[in-house]
Structure 1
Amino acid sequence: MQGRRREMAGPAGACLALLAALALLAGCQPKGPPVFQGYIEGEFVYVAGKIAGRLDVLPVARGDLVSAGQTLYVLEHAYEAQGVALAEADLRQAEDTLRDRQKGLRPEEIDQLLADLRRAEAEHALSSLEYDRRVKLYGQSVIAKEELDTSRTTHARDKQQVKSLEAKLATGKLPSRVDQVHAAQDAVEAARAALEQARWNLGQMSQPAGVAGLVYDVLHYPGEWVAAGAPVVTLLPPQNVKVRFFVPEAVAAGLAVGREIRVAADGAQPVVAHITYIAPTVEYTPPVIYSQGFREKLVIMVEGRFAPETAARLHPGQPVDVSLEPATAPKPAGGGA
């Protein structure tokens, strides 16, 4: 019976010895780099205007890729367009007034003054002759002194009329007074400022994309009233996508900004990232870090489009594994086999 037990224990002992050897060998294998659970986060750009209005045109849809400067939406803007037209008319009127202040009378007005001056000069010449004749007649005691005085007054009046018309003619050839010209210039500047304001108001009714990126969401649709400052389109520029993960304090002590890391999502090849920020304070592990078992129950909503340039592989909220091992391992020193 003892021999029989030894025969049966022989194969079992060999199996146990083999399992022990495999366990020892597995314990001697080098451990891989630590993997930390994280998630993808996006810093969104909310496109809005400063003036309220009805949404009339929405040429983009969720999931579109837009370039910088591309129109995202247009609000109803008939009132603002009329404001621009009115401001342009006011500017033209102000500029016409300034030009009128900077020059003298019109040629027709100058000709009228010249005609009045010639008539006044003729009347003055006639009254001068009449006055000289009255002086002689008064010296011969032919006329009374009152008649001489009347002739003298008429002569003086005609002389002053000539001087007055000469002064008006000279003034008519000059521009307006300096203060009037300055006032007209100020009116032009004010009209230009009003036009710029009207154009700015009109520009607020049509919002272009400030950056290139993905149309992540559309918050209003044509026909809806959009309040001032309310976003209509949400953009996600590719440079605003980042990974967020959490490591122990001991591990964080060995990290530095600019270090290369690898980020892997379920069913995808790891991608390279670089550390851009290390928090200066510690915190409790947030509840959004999921266990491997719970992650299998998560789903991600995907909307497919036929844009060939679309290469979106990471999505905000997507759980990922982060490895601190660099993507390219350093070559061993010496180059030995």
Structure 2
Amino acid sequence: MKPAPLPSLMPLLPLLWLTGCQPQDQAPLPGYAEADFVQVAAPSGGRLLSLPVKEGDEVQPDQLLFALEAEPQQAALAASQALLAQRQAQLTDLTKGLRTEEIAALQAQLESAQAELRQARRDHERQTSLRRQGFSSQANLDDSRTRQETAEAQVRNLQAQLAVGQLAGRPDALQAAKAATQAAAAQVQQDSWQLAQRQQQAHSRAQVDEILFRVGEWVPAGEPVLNLLPDDGVKIRFFVPQDRLSRLKPGQTIQVGCDACEGKLDARISHIASEAEFTPPVIYSQANRAKLVFLVEAKPLQTGTLRPGQPLDVYLEPAG
């Protein structure tokens, strides 16, 4: 039989590109699996002290992933705990009233706090200038601002205590002492949190995909030490022609197939792009190069079945 002339086949090329002879409504769409990795980092930098996991390991919730050296944070916590104990003792001692020696001690503490505040302001101005020139990190600038704010709060607290201590009215002195105690307790809480952040644990079941630092290396603040692939971290991405988009909605169940899959897998649509785009090069062909498509994402209902980068066939409607 003589083949049909080429011009009469042109309208069928998009269908032939998808499935050959399958009806267009049931033709699978090309897609792929993509991963949403979790990057695990510490808010402040330090030397990597411990790394009890390796690439490929399956980790459980609350399992230790890594630990940074913590001597500075331990010292800061000890200092804030000591300050809290001092504030609590002063609050208890208020029932006896302030003596001349106690006023002198407060004045000395205030002078010391004011000196620390002046130094903190100079440090913050220097960090601001270095940051503006690109020679310092945002974390260093934030730390300098926090030290300045802490020093300002300490000066205000001491000024309040000194002013109240020179008065005969005891209720005001008691209120200032309570405020100082609360500030010291807040500092203990902050330092405790900073110390706890030196160790990072897994928040859910996951697989260690990549380790970026080794024990003994210096880890900058906020820099990921490792990447995790959670059990539900794989998603399916595919592009839907505009004439088939109206049949889809978030929450709808679809099916996907792959070369290594035993049958089709169920997935649920989680996102549909609000704007169209041109057919991406990965599914580029002369027949559909001018066709607009919409990006759609779906989550597989069975975890651990797909791997990132795996090519997939996406079935929007079950075969009749």
Q: Does 1:49 align with 2:48?
A: no
Contact 1:62/1:216 (CA < 8 Å) preserved in 2?
A: yes
- Give the drift of 1:311: 6.9
Name the counterpart of 1:322.
Answer: 314
Cα pair distance change 1:183/1:281, threshold 3 Å = closer
Aligned partner of 1:38 among 17, 31, 42:
31
Please give the alpha-carbon distance, in whole angstroms, between the structure 2 residues aligned to 1:289 and 1:212.
34
- 2:209 partner SS: strand
2:31 and 2:233 map into 1 onto residues whose CA distance is 17
Q: Quick one: which of 181, 184, 193 aligns to 2:186?
A: 193
Alignment RMSD, CA only? 2.7
In structure 2, which of residues 42, 55, 65 is the aligned counterpart of residue 62 of structure 1? Answer: 55
In structure 1, give the amino acid aligned to 2:52.
P
Aligned-partner Cα distance in 2 for 1:249–1:241? 25
Cα 1:176–1:222, aligned 2, differ >3 Å: closer, same or farther? farther
CA contact (8 A) 2:231 2:303 kept: no
Q: How many residues are treated as equivalent by the alignment? A: 213
Are 1:260 and 2:266 matched, yes or no?
no
**Aligned ranges for residues 278-317 of structure 1 at < 5 Å?**
278-289=272-283, 312-317=304-309
SS in structure 2 opposite 1:201? helix
What's the CA shift for 1:267?
2.6
TM-score (norm 1): 0.57
Q: Is the 8 A contact 1:38 1:289 kept in 2?
A: no
Percent of residue pairs identical: 43
In structure 1, what residue type is equivalent to 2:276? V
Q: Deviations over 1:72-106 (max 9, x none)?
A: 1110001111111111111112111111113579x
State how far apart, in whole Å, the 1-side matches of 2:97 and 2:223 are.
54
Listed as ranges, the matches of 1:89-168 within 5 Å are: 89-103=82-96
Misfit runs of 4+, over 4 Å: none
Cα distance change on mapping 1:290 and 1:46 into 2, 3 Å? farther
- Counterpart CA distance in 2 for 1:287 and 1:223 is 44
| One of 172, 177, 180 as aligned partner of 1:184 | 177
Whose strand fraction is larger, Structure 1's or Structure 2's? 2
Gaps spanning 5+ residues in structure 1: where? 1-15, 17-29, 106-174, 292-309, 330-337
Q: Mark the CA change 1:75 to 1:316 in structure 2 (over 3 Å): closer, same or farther.
A: same
- C-alpha deviations, 1:255-298, integer Å up to 9, x for none? 2223322111113222111222222222222223489xxxxxxx
**Residues 277 and 101 from structure 1, CA distance in 2 versus in 1: closer, same or farther, beyond 3 angstroms?**
same
The alpha-carbon deviation at position 179 of structure 1 amounts to: 3.0
1:295-323: CA deviation from partner (whole Å, max 9, x where unpaired): xxxxxxxxxxxxxxx97331111111112
Amino acid across the alignment from 1:285: T
1:311 & 1:50 partners in 2: Cα distance? 30
Task: Give 2:318's aligned amino acid.
Answer: P
Within a 5 Å distance, the mapping from 1:196-235 to structure 2 comes to 196-235=189-228
Contact 1:84 1:195 in 2 (8 A): yes
Equivalence for 1:151: none
* Distance in structure 2 (CA, Å) of the matches to 1:266 and 1:184: 71
Structure showing greater Rg: 1
Over residues 17-41 of structure 1, what are the superposed CA-to-partner deviations in whole Å (9 max), with x where a residue is unaligned?
xxxxxxxxxxxxx946301111001
Corresponding residue for residue 166 of structure 1: none
Report if aligned partners of 2:205, 2:230 keep a CA contact under 8 Å in 1.
yes
Q: Secondary structure at the match of 2:278?
A: coil
Structure 2 CA distance for aligned equivalents of residues 311 and 281 of structure 1: 29
Q: Which amino acid counterpart does residue 306 of structure 2 have in structure 1?
A: L
- Relative distance call for 1:60 and 1:80 in structure 2 (3 A) is same
Equivalent of residue 271 in structure 1, options 250, 258, 265? 265
User: How many angstroms apart in 1 are the aligned matches of 2:75 and 2:284?
Assistant: 57
Cα displacement (A) at 1:176: 8.3
State how far apart, in whole Å, the 2-side matches of 1:224 and 1:230 are.
12
